[in-house]
Amino acid sequence: MSSHLFIVTGSSRGMGAAMAAQLLQAGHTVLGIARAAHPNLAGAEQWQADLADPLPVAARLEAWLAAMPADRFASASLINNAALLNAPGPLEAEAPEALSAAVRVGLEAPLLLSAAFLRATRGWPGQRKLLHISSGLGRRAMAGSGSYCAVKAGLDHFSRSLALDEALRPNGARTVSLAPGVIDTDMQRQLRGSDPASFPEQARFANLAATGALDSPETAAAKVLAYLARPDFGNAPVADVRE
């Protein structure tokens, strides 16, 4: 039990790719799940899958984990990072298909993958962790971002409930829904490039970039992984890297 398992969704770009790359160390097994493989993750196992159709991905993950010896890993961590951001604006302007995909990727998939992870690893003696990448927008509503706010708030409350369940079990999994700070990602570029008429907070996001207030994906990934490694991980089921 000297090795560690990390499963990262949304591993093809941004902070997800950065986390998977930083986890590729001796003694680590890394599984990345994303719509595309990443060329810099040659040392990881990569599954190309669309989490907007999460049921088959969860079934595959459960079977993959169940086939492993229970004592293979000293720890196993599932990092639910994947998310979709629709064009900022009022809810009625979102295409139904895009709205459905955002909720499936950002909330339904984490619930299904977490359930699969917990079922398959229930008898494992090592430490198990679930890390859900949330956002300050799950805790502070913002106009023009209804679906994203809903998904992230859902992750937060899911983590709170799951922590209560796991506290009742022997060797229960530790869970945290973590806000990673503000990061210079495709999402940020989309927000600051939006039409102020449909997204009233466009100027605030433009100012974050102009003043150098954004972390790079690599810097944000390092902060998130440092939080995952903390001995008190899971003491608070909802947290922020800046706390």
CATH number at residue 64: 3.40.50.720
Tell whether 196 is covered by a domain.
no
pLDDT of residue 20: 97
- Check: CB of residue 147 under 8 Å from CB of residue 94: yes
pLDDT (tens digit, 9 = 90+) per residue, 102-125?
999 999 999 999 999 999 999 999
**How many other CB atoms are found less than 10 A from the CB of residue 32?**
28
Tell whether 37 is covered by a domain.
yes
Q: How far apart are CA 237 and CA 97, in angstroms?
A: 31
pLDDT of residue 123: 96
- Check: CB of residue 61 under 8 Å from CB of residue 120: yes
To the nearest 10 degrees (0 to 180), the angle between helices 217-228 and 14-23 is 60
Tell whether 193 is covered by a domain.
no
The contacts of residue 132 (CB under 8 Å, 6+ apart) are 80, 110, 114, 155, 158, 159, 175, 176, 177, 178
Tell whether 108 is covered by a domain.
yes
What is the domain count for the chain? 1
Note the pTM of the prediction, 2 decimals. Answer: 0.91
pLDDT of 75 above 70: yes
Pick the more confident residue, 190 or 111.
111
pLDDT of residue 215: 82
Tell whether 109 is covered by a domain.
yes
Query: Which residue range forms the structural domain that includes residue 101?
Result: 3-181+216-240
Tell whether 152 is covered by a domain.
yes
Q: Give me the half-sphere count of Cα atoms (radius 13 Å) on the Cβ side of residue 79.
A: 30
Tell whether 194 is covered by a domain.
no
